[in-house]
Amino acid sequence: MPRTLCKYIIVFSLLVISAFSVQAQTLKQRPKIGLVLGGGGAKGIAHVGVIKVLEENHIPVDVIAGTSMGAIIGSLYASGYSADEIENIARELDWNDVFNDKTARSRATFRRKSDDFGFLTSYKVTFRDGKILLPEGIIQGQNLFLELSKLLSGTRGIGSFDDLPIPFRLVATDLETGDAVVMKDGDLASAVFGSMAIPGFIPPVEREGHRLLDGGLVNNLPIDLARELGADIVIVVNVGSDPKPADEIGNFIDVLRQTQILLTQKNTTDQIKTMQDGDILLEPELEGLGISSFGQADKLIAQGETAARQSLAALKPLALGERAWVNHLIARVSHPQLSPVIDKVEIENASKLSDEIIRVGISLKPGYVFDAPQINNDIDKLYGTGIFERITYDVGQINNQHVLTVKAKAKDSSDGYFRFGIALDSNLESESSFNLGVSYTKPQINAWGGEWRTHLNFGDKVILGSEFY
C-alpha cells in the first residue's frame, strides 16, 4: 500500500477517534436532544424545513422517533442523509409514480401488454366462492416499497436501529390487536413501509409476525419513544390535521379520513401533555395543504423552515460551537454503512407459482454483495408478470448470517376475474366498427404460471374464443 494512502488512512482514523472522544465528552456536558417527527401524509415534508434550520444553527440531534411520513424523513436523517440531500429527494421524487403500482410498460410481459387489446378500461372484477372480492387498499404500495428500499439501501448491514448514525425508533399499528408496534431493529425499509400503511390506501404490511398499519392510529407523535432513547430535551414537530366541520363531510372517504384524524388527534394530544420544561413544540402553518399535497414540496419545506425560525429563541441555547459541531458531524459520517454479503436467499411464496421460478428471477445469490438497484430491477420484472399483488424483500441477520428474504404474494385475481370493455375503431373516413367484449381469466393454473382465458366479443362480429397460455 502506498505510504501516502497509509498516512491518509491513519489521519482519518485519528480524526474519527478524536471526534468520538470529544463527542462523548460533549454529550456528558450537554442534554441529549431528541427529534420527534409526526405523521401527516405529504404535510410531513415540512419536517425537512425544520431539519434544515437545525443544521444551519448547529443544533445537534442525538436520537429520532417518527411515525408514518415522519418515519420516512426520520429514517433518512437517522441513516446519514443531510438536510440538503433530503430536500433534494423531496423536491425531485416523482411522487405520482411512487404512489402508483403500475410497472413501466417496457418491463411488462407481452402477455400483460396484450391484456389491453380491445379494452378501454383496466378494471377487473374478481370472484371467490361466488362473491366479489374487494382489494385491501387502493394501491399495494409496490413502487413505494422499492423507492424506500433504494433510499435506505445503505442500512442493510445494520441490525439494530441503535447502530444508525442517529439512533432511531418508529411505530406502526398491529392490525389484529390494535396495539402499537415499536420497531427498533431488523430491515429498516420494511419497518418504514409498515409505519405508513394508511388504512384503505395501502394494505397491511407483514413484518416479523405482525400485520402492520399506519402508526398514526396509535402514536402519531412518539415523544415517549424519544424519551426511551434517553432524550433529555425533545424538539417535537406536529403536522397532524384538525377534524373537518360536519358540513364538509360529504362521502364515505371523508368519513374514513375524519375517523382517522379523530383517532390521531387523541393520541397526539396525550403525547403533547407529556412534554416538559425545555421541550420545544413546532407546529408549521399548513393551511390549504393536505395529506396528498406532494406536488407542493417547496411550500411545505418553506413552512417548516418558518416554524423553526420562529422558535429560534428557544432552539439557540441548544446550539453547539463550531468545533463541537464539526466533531458531531464527523461522528455521524464515521458510522460504516457497507452493503452486506448475502449468505442465504429464502423465498416466502404465497402464490401457486413455483419457488424456483421466483428464485431464478433473483440475480443475487449467496456470496454476492447486496445490490439494491439489482434486486429492485429483478423484483420489478417479476412484478411485471401481473401475477403478484406485492413483492417485497428484506435483509436480516439470522444466526450471524445475512439472509435475503423475498416475499411474493399473489393477486386476489388468481381466483379468476372478469373484465369488460368497449372497442372503437375508425379510419376517419367511411369505415368504423364498434364491439363490446367480456373475458374471464383464470390465472396460476399450474406452477409455471399457466392461465386459461375465455372471451366473447359481439358487435360487427360475434367471436367466442378460449385459450390456454
Q: Any idea which residues carry the catalytic annotation?
A: 68, 214
Cross-strand pairs, 396: 403
C-alpha 196/C-alpha 305 separation (Å) is: 24
How many CB atoms are located within 10 Å of the residue 388 CB?
23
Bin 181: left if φ > 0, else alpha if -120 < ψ < 50, else beta.
beta
DSSP 3-state of 174: strand
C-alpha torsion angle, residues 335, 337, 343, 349 (rounded to 10):
120
User: Over the range 61-83, which residues count as b (16 or more CB within 10 Å of their CB) and which as e?
Assistant: bbbbbbbbbbbbbbbbbbbbbbb
3-state DSSP helix/strand/coil % of the chain, to nearest 5: 40, 25, 35
Q: Any idea what DSSP says for residue 154?
A: G
The CA-atom distances, in angstroms, between 345 and each of 134, 153, 318, 395, 405 are: 33, 17, 46, 9, 6
Q: What is the CA radius of gyration of the chain?
A: 25
C-alpha 188/C-alpha 66 separation (Å) is: 13
CB 455 within 8 A of CB 468: no
The CA-atom distances, in angstroms, between 18 and each of 31, 181, 319, 431, 438 are: 21, 38, 20, 82, 72
Closest CA to 278 of 114, 103, 32: 32
Q: Any idea what DSSP says for residue 337?
A: -
Query: What single letter denotes the amino acid at residue 377?
Result: N
C-alpha 287/C-alpha 74 separation (Å) is: 23
C-alpha 306/C-alpha 53 separation (Å) is: 9
Closest CA to 191 of 155, 166, 223, 225: 155
DSSP H helices, 139-233, are 142-151, 188-195, 216-219, 223-228
CB 49 within 8 A of CB 248: no
Place of cell 423465498: 347
Q: Which grid cell is 282? A: 413546532
